[in-house]
Structure 1
Amino acid sequence: MDGLPAKTTHDLEQYTRRVSEGPCFVCGFLDGLPDYRHHLVYEDDDTTAFLNRYPTLLGYCLVAPKRHLESWVQDMEPPEFLRFQSVAHAVARAIAATVPTERMYSMSLGSQRGNAHLHWHLAPLPPGVPYHQQQFHAVMGENGILAADDDAQAALAREIRSHVQI
């Protein structure tokens, strides 16, 4: 048993073009661009959280400041960073209350060449995944993404949202 739902291949070439040549995916989502739609799990005046469009794990969410920032080290003062992290923590707890979670991975990814908008990845590793399929292997699109049904993702987002406690 591998503990992970069935996956499909991920078109990395198309994805790389999209993130390096297209608009900022977080700003596009916040601006309501149809091709940048995500399933919202949390929102306040400063922060948004939504399901990953290309999930490798069930319940995989992204948390981002609404303001276009590119570095939590350079662009956020400690009080703002701590508030942002408190939202990430609350969303992670909501994810863990919704899907079976052995460990919650939390990472800031992206670069100046793609996905530059600061965002935190919250990826719930389910119980029973063999060690060689955990950690970076579990979150890398190169190893496949979940065949995410839009209705199921919408229901999952609603369920996670119902557990967020700020």
Structure 2
Amino acid sequence: MSDRQPFDLKAYVQDIAARPCFICGLARNDPAFFHHRIFEDDETIIFLSKYPTLPGYCLVCPKEHLEDLAQDISTDEYLRLQEKVHLLSRALKSTFDAERIYVLSLGSQQANSHVHFHVVPLPSGMPLEEQQYHALMAEHGILQIPDDEMAEMARRVTAAYHSEIADRC
């Protein structure tokens, strides 16, 4: 695994609080919000994080700008979204030989308010003190993965994701 590089969290927080929703921009195919996509349908978009702390770090989001998991999403919509989280978890586990898959819903009304789930494979053999929240915190640095490697990673995860869909049928 690549070494983590320092991440300017203060600049990132200022940026996300001042700019339009990056998930909506990505869903509209705005090139300013490019991310490597894994899967997309009418309701959902899945893509690699631009600021990964671990290889294969993905986000799963409804395409529609919804902000409150408890009030804006019906039970059926939530279950369809979670089915995709589960399929992605299986794809990431097989692609990265992950010990565990972390799933979190983060964001706030001040920034990144669009509902989204972080789905992250924990590499096997990672020391305990570098697992859990430590593994996910950009404050401990992010991976600088070249674009061609991100594209290849996206291709591998996409293939595994589609294999999971086929196995489900």
Instruction: Using the TM superposition, name which of 134-143 and 91-100 deviates more.
Output: 91-100
Q: What's the counterpart of residue 58 of structure 2?
A: 61
Q: What's the counterpart of residue 148 of structure 2?
A: 151
Q: Distance in 2 between matches of 1:98 and 1:71?
A: 31
Q: TM-score, normalised to structure 2's length?
A: 0.93
Match of 2:72 among 60, 70, 75: 75
- 1:103 and 2:88 equivalent? no
The unaligned stretches of length 5 or more in structure 1 are none
CA RMSD in angstroms comes to 1.0
**SS state at 2:101 partner:** strand
Q: Distance in 1 between matches of 2:22 and 2:157?
A: 21
**SS state at 2:98 partner:** coil
Asked whether the 8 Å contact 1:42–1:91 carries over to 2, the reply is: no
Cα offset for 1:100? 2.2
Q: Distance in 2 between matches of 1:26 and 1:139?
A: 20
Q: Distance in 1 between matches of 2:145 and 2:2?
A: 10
Match of 1:5 among 2, 5, 18: 2
In the TM superposition, what are the counterparts of 1:22-41 in structure 2 within 5 Å? 22-41=19-38
Q: Distance in 1 between matches of 2:73 and 2:127?
A: 37
**SS state at 1:115 partner:** coil
Cα offset for 1:34? 2.2
The unaligned stretches of length 5 or more in structure 2 are none
Q: Distance in 2 between matches of 1:35 and 1:141?
A: 22
Q: Distance in 1 between matches of 2:29 and 2:109?
A: 23
**SS state at 2:23 partner:** helix
Q: Distance in 1 between matches of 2:152 and 2:96?
A: 12
Q: Percent identity?
A: 45
- 1:84 and 2:81 equivalent? yes
- 1:129 and 2:94 equivalent? no
**SS state at 2:115 partner:** coil
The one-letter code sitting in structure 1 at the alignment partner of 2:29 is G
Q: Distance in 1 between matches of 2:145 and 2:25?
A: 21
**SS state at 1:102 partner:** strand
Bigger helix fraction: 2
Aligned length: 163
